[in-house]
Amino acid sequence: MRTLNNIFLKTGFIFCALLFISCNETKKEDSVMAEQEIPMLEAASQEYADLAQKTLELLSEFDLETWKEYLADDVEWYWPDGNSETRHTIKGKEELIMWWKNWKETTGGQMSFTNNTFLPIKVNKASNYYKLVGTGVLAYTDLTISIQDKSTSVRQHIVFMFDENKKISHALLYYDRTGIIELTNVVIGETE
What are the pLDDT digits (tens) for 130-189? 789 999 999 999 999 898 888 888 889 999 999 999 999 999 988 766 666 666 666 555
pLDDT at 182: 65
**CA neighbours closer than 13 Å in the CB half-sphere of residue 135:** 18
Instruction: Indicate if the pLDDT at residue 191 is higher than 60.
Output: no
Model pTM?
A: 0.74
Mean predicted confidence (pLDDT) in 118-129: 88
CA distance 168 to 43: 18
pLDDT at 81: 76
pLDDT at 12: 53
Model confidence over 25-61: pLDDT tens digits?
Answer: 555 555 555 577 888 889 999 999 999 999 999 999 9
Q: How far does Cα 115 stand from its chain's mean position?
A: 19
H or E element at residue 43: strand 41-43
User: 125-152: buried (b, 16+ CB within 10 Å) or exposed (e) per residue?
Assistant: eeeeeeeeebbbbbbebebebbeeeeeb
